[in-house]
A and B are shown apart, each in its own frame.
Chain A
Amino acid sequence: MDQFTLNLIFVGGSFALYIGIAIWARAGSTSDFYAASRGVHPVTNGMATAADWMSAASFISMAGLIAFTGYDNSSFLMGWTGGYVLLALLLAPYLRKFGKFTVSEFVGDRFYSQSARLVAVICLLVASITYVIGQMQGVGIAFGRFLEIDATTGLLIGACVVFAYAVFGGMKGVTYTQVAQYCVLITAYTIPAVFISLQLTGTPIPGLGLFGEHTASGEPLLAKLDQIVRDLGFAEYTAAHGSTLNMVLFTLSLMIGTAGLPHVIMRFFTVPKVSDARWSTGWTLVFIALLYLTAPAVGAMARLNISELMWPNGTEGAAVSVEQIETSPEYAWMATWQRTGLLDWEDKNGDGRIQYYNDKNADLQARAEANGWQGNELTNFNRDILVLANPEIASLPGWVIGLVAAGGLAAALSTAAGLLLAISSAVSHDLLKGQLTPNMTEKQELLAARISMAAAIVLAVILGLNPPGFAAQTVALAFGIAAASIFPALMMGIFSTRINDAGAVAGMLAGLLVTVLYIFLHKGWFFIPDTNTFTDADPLLGPIKSTSFGAVGAAVNFAVAYIVAGMTKETPQEIKDLVASVRVPKGAGAAVSGH
């Protein structure tokens, strides 16, 4: 059976499973659509939240970014897990006690203001749509690979699938589907990593293999990797190269962004009790950690494998020959990925070999001159293909490759569906029913929810055609926006009675605007290429890149909120009572839709 058929069986089979579950648990009422019934067990909820939250960025993109940068991209690992500590300690139990369906309902009620609710909806929409762009990128790459077409066509096909899938059901359908998706994605991520870890280190647990011994050389794996990349003129894998300030801010942005993402927070409204919300956050992180402890091993081991494939005779010997790439089965993956337009090579000096090295490194330039090399000949290696190509790079059996394709799609699809749900509930529930047309029937509300899902997908596809970075970087921008706008408002709403309506509105607007402005100045207005004034290589403010700005935006939000609240009318007594009641678990009922 050829690889294409195998991929089709795995991807098709997993899709049939998700759609079957979605139909079986289809949403009937509005309450079902948004928050299911409250009968979701903390472990089940944790698993579904993990699938919902681990997206194309975590599954497809992150290990590739770590592989090609090394230590400096540890921010993704710490940032995307550390956020759950903030969520568990600062938000989840209180929002569950508050007992409404959406994040903006909390903001609207706590800050006793329809404008606050409206601003929260806008923040949420901007963050979610940016996030969906990153998912669509991942979907495009995964479909491109498994249908063996270019990534743009893959993106368009993927968009249709995501839409068809998301309109099928609401949270309830999505909850059980996401449990299935979690199982598919974690198996798909772990199995190749275990195989590769066994090949390289003899340890079946990749997370231990990473700090273990490289069997072939007898040296520690990371020491061996450091030596190989140094020989090829690249920055040492385990060393720090970027600015410490930028790394701290980037990590912090990802952390507070995680705790400010509406589709994740919504999850904790669906557990039965406040104490369950606390446990549920822990279980979510357990399921996420299973992937996150494996990811750095996947990155390091793939980097080692690629370097060795390109230099089969050692870094001092001759590079791989063009003939070998074209004929040897070990290199078949390169031709397959070339078709997606995400991988390419060129024999610039016509010596029949492909030299992969850092042509900007002075030491390597001397060696290049002596050997007649004319620049790095592995001309394009998109970071986002690394995880999907990984089993092929390690020459693993065909069924593993099919499984990974299914896992990547599960990750992108589950998050896209969760985000579309958050977007549609923001538009239909908060914007239309809450503000513009309060007399809507349930049926009209559901229809509006589905129309807004379609609109969000179309917008994400249009913007996704010119993505502002690799999938995980696009997603990092979304986290920055959530960090700067939503998280501070929620936290101040719970921990401070001083912040009033005007303070919250001014804070959120200031945080959102300053962050979006900083991103657009560096990534182009609405991500349109060549409309940027600065680049992330030389940012406006010292070493602070646009992906790290969310933490600064959040500080602006806090500061503006406190200043404005200090100058305006004090919070009324009934709101102080509301805050007091949110702080204790006793008396938490089922969620109610408040109008």
Chain B
Amino acid sequence: MDEQNTNADPKRGGGKDQGAYWATNIRIIAGCLVIWALVSFGFGIILRPLLAGIEVGGTDLGFWFAQQGSILVFLALIFFYAWRMNKLDREYGVEEE
């Protein structure tokens, strides 16, 4: 329990820095989740009728997003987030030693 609190002490310029770090993180998360929802719930389900005209292998683009496309986008999102956050950690000097 005690070790959890030791680094609550503001380091490197204090709580303001950590606030900015967290705000940036939230922005990145929000951006990623918009894409996450768009490819699955959007293109794969709700917006599928709008994509009906675009043909992919005997069916339409919406079907492709529902069965394959969204999975590929999910992968890209997770690796992007890992890369972006590890970079952000270094920018704010909050990475692990």
Q: Give the docked Cα–Cα distance between A212 and B5 (Å).
A: 57
Closest Cβ of chain B to A592, distance in Å, is 7
Contact B71–A292 (Cβ < 8 Å): yes
Contact A74–B44 (Cβ < 8 Å): yes
Q: Which residues of B contact A248 (CB under 8 A)?
A: 41, 45-46
Q: Which residues of B contact A211 (CB under 8 A)?
A: 56-59, 64, 68
Contact B45–A251 (Cβ < 8 Å): yes
Contact B5–A81 (Cβ < 8 Å): no
Closest Cβ of chain A to B69, distance in Å, is 10
**Which chain A residue lies CB-closest to B70?**
A78
Contact A85–B77 (Cβ < 8 Å): yes
**Known interface pairs A211-B56, A248-B46, A585-B94; A592-B85 also in contact (CB < 8 Å):** no
Size of interface on B: residues with Cβ below 8 Å to A: 52
**Chain A 264-278 against B: per-residue CB contact (8 Å), 1 yes, 0 no?**
000000000111001
**Which chain A residue lies CB-closest to B82?**
A278
**Which chain B residue lies CB-closest to A250?**
B45
Q: Which residues of A contact B41 (CB under 8 A)?
A: 248, 251-252
**Chain A 174-197 against B: per-residue CB contact (8 Å), 1 yes, 0 no?**
000000000000000000000000
A 72-124 contacts with B by CB, 8 A? 74, 77-78, 81-82, 84-86, 88-90, 93, 98-99, 109
**Chain A 409-453 against B: per-residue CB contact (8 Å), 1 yes, 0 no?**
000000000000000000000000000000000000000000000
Q: Give the docked Cα–Cα distance between A589 and B2 (Å).
A: 12
> Quick check: is A160 within 8 A (CB to CB) of the other chain?
no
Partner of A275 from B21, B46, B56, B86 at Cβ < 8 Å: B86
Q: Which residues of A contact B77 (CB under 8 A)?
A: 85, 88-89
Contact A282–B78 (Cβ < 8 Å): yes
Contact B44–A78 (Cβ < 8 Å): yes
Contact A578–B8 (Cβ < 8 Å): yes
Q: Give the docked Cα–Cα distance between A78 and B89 (Å).
A: 30
Most chain-B Cβ atoms within 10 A of its Cβ — which of A89, A220, A255?
Answer: A89
**Which chain B residue lies CB-closest to A109?**
B1
Taking chain B's interface residues, is the majority helix, strand, or loop, or is none over half, making it mixed? helix
Most chain-B Cβ atoms within 10 A of its Cβ — which of A71, A90, A223, A578?
Answer: A71
Q: Give the docked Cα–Cα distance between A433 and B7 (Å).
A: 28
> Quick check: is A335 within 8 A (CB to CB) of the other chain?
no
> Quick check: is B29 within 8 A (CB to CB) of the other chain?
yes
> Quick check: is A222 within 8 A (CB to CB) of the other chain?
yes
Contact A278–B81 (Cβ < 8 Å): yes
Q: Give the docked Cα–Cα distance between A538 and B25 (Å).
A: 43
Q: Which residues of B contact A220 (CB under 8 A)?
A: 57-59
Q: What would 5 more interface pairs be, CB under 8 Å, given A78-B66, A248-B46, A281-B78?
A: A89-B33, A248-B45, A581-B5, A587-B6, A592-B3
- Listed A/B pairs (29) with beta-carbon separation below 8 Å: A71-B63, A71-B67, A74-B63, A77-B68, A77-B70, A82-B36, A82-B40, A85-B36, A85-B77, A86-B36, A88-B78, A99-B4, A211-B56, A211-B64, A238-B58, A251-B41, A252-B41, A255-B40, A278-B82, A285-B75, A289-B75, A293-B71, A581-B5, A581-B8, A583-B21, A585-B89, A586-B89, A586-B95, A587-B6
